[in-house]
Amino acid sequence: MPTNAEIADIFDQVADLLEFQNANAFRVRAYRNAARTITNLTEPLAGIAADANRKLTDIDGIGADLATKIKQLVETGSMPMLTELQAQVPASVLALVRVAGLGPKKAAALHKELGINSLDELRQACVDQKVRALKGFGAKTEATILAGLDLASTSQDRMLWAEADEIVAAVRAYLAECPGVEQLEAAGSYRRGKETVGDLDFLVTATDGNAVMDRLASFGGVTQIIGRGDTKMSVRLRTGMQVDLRVVPAESFGAALQYFTGSKEHNVVLRGRAKDRGLKLNEYGVFRGDEFIAGRTEEEVYRALELPYFPPEMRESRGEFDWAAQGELPRLIELGDLVGDLHMHTTETDGKASLEEMVAAAQARGLRYIAITDHSQRVSMANGLNGERARRQWEQIDRLNAKLKDFRVLKGIECDILEKGGMDLPDDVLREADWVVASVHYGQNQPREQITRRIIDALRNPYVSAIAHPTGRLINRRKAYEVDLDEVYAVAKAERKFLELNANPWRLDLDDVACAAAKRHGIPIVISTDAHSVRDLDKMRYGVLQARRAGLTKKDVANTRPWDELRTLLGSHGG
């Protein structure tokens, strides 16, 4: 039974194929919008489809035709329309669509005009400067394509953590129903919270290991059994992801969980530490000679090595052992520590919910304040706000705040940093806002020095509060733009401004390494959802997971504080 992520991916593929064939634009848009809606759903489509009291057509943007397609996928795991389209367009050609700077229409032009059928052929055509000669391309587009080819060729190797999480939940629930299962955990890079996941590892203790492996073989997403032994089984899912299941003895479960969670670098240090103490550490336990010392739980394993328990997100050998030696292992931030969300959109621009709906949803999630940060006018495709419309929205927020109790809506804006430098709205408008996040959406291919200068100038604007998604990357889709983060950190520190960790699973920007660097510079991080719908508010947990990988604590994240306390941290008009 396909997951929501798989169904959304299929609808995106259909949209790509239709657009590649120059199909009706409204039809293409229907599949794109449906894919976006399904991605944002917080409950499985399969459950809705199976409920006699509910209709798929009650989901916004899902009409009768799309509902039929969803039922086909839920009931059979396939969709005849997709099969037909795939037969008409070779998969190697569709791979061109993944390249930054190309969409289905340009990919179709390359295929038709130059006979390009693969990424390798596209690379050669760029090197030979044939692409720039086509109408609508040019040298700049050719350079962008070349820069994105390496990312396109590897982006399908690893899945977003958020997508993997949906698969893990489905597999875990399915295996847990098997009689005799006692302990069941996912390990590997998924458990460490890495932003992308290459494969999945499950560990289980059970009274009958063969029954659990039989259960995995019958999971609806399995397309291939790669191998099966007495204690290990490997399968391939419909998504292409490999799932490994290991059946381990109860006395070794903690040792196996620690070992297969990794990371490799963390485990190397552990084995060296064990050796220094005359011990041996492996996936079966901690041993002194042939004597079993520990292994039933992870805590037991670490204790035997005279170490504290390390949260999985911390196990990258990036300082955790030094913290432990100094007795300063941080208490990592948790989702419940956050009391505000400082980046979200409404129907005033490209959001899907009204101001009142976003407020109600935030209150339901236990938040105490939010900032409404609709786009500024430069983002014309999102119907961005000019000064007059921004002020009208802020007046609406003032009226709403007068009615709210124990909750505050901040008057905010996501203001573009213009390509030539400077802010998209004048200072006399920005000074009226409570919260201004500055963003680079355009001119992302500019030289490093130019982009860095644009961001630094924004940080020095007295009315800017934070820089949103500071490197502009989209995981597996678009590389970060060139920016000198060290210079950005220095100015952010001096100006008492914040940097955002955007919790959208495609962004997670700043990444974990950059967040850790910001912490070393003493720069507060703001974890925000960049929500464009009510359901998007639930994406905050992805940002928290990334923050934990960076070693951030509650103190390191600004929006764990009440608004009145947070604003005192801000430079310029924020204080």
Instruction: Tell me the pLDDT tens digit for each residue of 35-58.
Output: 878 876 667 788 888 888 888 998
Spatial separation of the C-alpha atoms in residues 47 and 316, rounded to whole Å:
37
pLDDT at 152 over 80: no
Measure Cα distances from 165 to 62, 218, 528 in Å. Answer: 24, 20, 20
The amino acid at residue 551 is G
Reading the block at residue 108, the tokens are 């179709």
Spatial separation of the C-alpha atoms in residues 299 and 508, rounded to whole Å:
30
The amino acid at residue 561 is R
Instruction: Tell me the pLDDT tens digit for each residue of 395-432.
Output: 999 999 999 999 999 999 999 999 999 999 999 999 99
Look at 136-145, 168-177, 207-216, 412-421 and tell me which has the smallest mean pLDDT: 136-145
pLDDT at site 156? 58
For the entire predicted model, the pTM comes to: 0.79
Q: Where in the chain is the domain with CATH 1.10.150.110?
A: 4-154
Mean pLDDT of 387-402: 98
Spatial separation of the C-alpha atoms in residues 215 and 250, rounded to whole Å:
20
CB 259 within 8 A of CB 267: yes
Task: Indicate the average pLDDT of the chain.
Answer: 92
Asked if omega into 376 is within 30° of 0 (cis), the reply is no
Measure Cα distances from 411 to 228, 386, 503, 564 in Å. Answer: 58, 14, 21, 14
Is 159-247 CATH 3.40.640.10?
Answer: no
pLDDT at 531 over 70: yes
Mean pLDDT of 129-156: 78
Q: What is the DSSP string of 210-264?
A: HHHHHHHHT-TTEEEEEEE-SSEEEEEETTS-EEEEEE--GGGHHHHHHHHH--H
Cβ atoms within 10 A of the Cβ of 65, count? 13
pLDDT at site 332? 98
CB 494 within 8 A of CB 526: no
Instruction: Tell me the pLDDT tens digit for each residue of 451-487.
Output: 999 999 999 999 999 999 999 999 988 889 999 999 9
Residue with tokens 């608004």: 563
pLDDT at 75 over 70: yes
CB 131 within 8 A of CB 114: yes
**In what helix (H) or strand (E) does residue 294 lie, and over which residues does it extend?**
strand 291-294
At residue 1 the predicted structure's pLDDT band, cuts being 50, 70 and 90, is: low
Is 4-154 CATH 3.40.50.2300?
Answer: no
Q: Where in the chain is the domain with CATH 3.30.460.10?
A: 159-247
| Closest-CA residue to 468 (of 535, 542, 412) | 412
- For residue 22, the SS3 value is coil
Mean pLDDT of 284-301: 97
Percent share of the chain, pLDDT over 70: 96
pLDDT at 155 over 60: no
Domain boundaries 335-574, corresponding CATH code: 3.20.20.140
Q: Cβ neighbours of residue 409 under 8 Å, at least 6 residues apart? A: 355, 359, 369, 370, 371, 372, 397, 400, 401
Mean pLDDT of 513-527: 95
pLDDT at site 42? 60
| Closest-CA residue to 346 (of 207, 533, 505) | 533
Instruction: Tell me the pLDDT tens digit for each residue of 84-140.
Output: 888 887 776 677 777 766 777 788 888 888 888 888 888 898 888 998 888 888 888
Mean pLDDT of 26-42: 82
- For residue 324, the SS3 value is helix
What beta strand segments (E) does 425-572 contain?
A: 435-439, 466-467, 498-502, 525-528
The amino acid at residue 335 is L
Spatial separation of the C-alpha atoms in residues 434 and 158, rounded to whole Å:
39
Spatial separation of the C-alpha atoms in residues 503 and 519, rounded to whole Å:
17
pLDDT at site 17? 87
Spatial separation of the C-alpha atoms in residues 439 and 375, rounded to whole Å:
9
Give Dmax over CA atoms of the chain in angstroms: 77
pLDDT at 154 over 70: no
pLDDT at site 394? 98
pLDDT at site 153? 59
Mean pLDDT of 21-29: 86
At residue 575 the predicted structure's pLDDT band, cuts being 50, 70 and 90, is: very low
Q: Which CATH class is domain 252-325?
A: alpha beta
Instruction: Tell me the pLDDT tens digit for each residue of 360-378.
Output: 999 999 999 999 999 999 9
CA 72 to chain centre: 28
Residue with tokens 């910001």: 518
Mean pLDDT of 352-358: 96
Can you say whether the dihedral through the CA atoms of 254, 257, 261, 264 is positive or negative?
A: positive
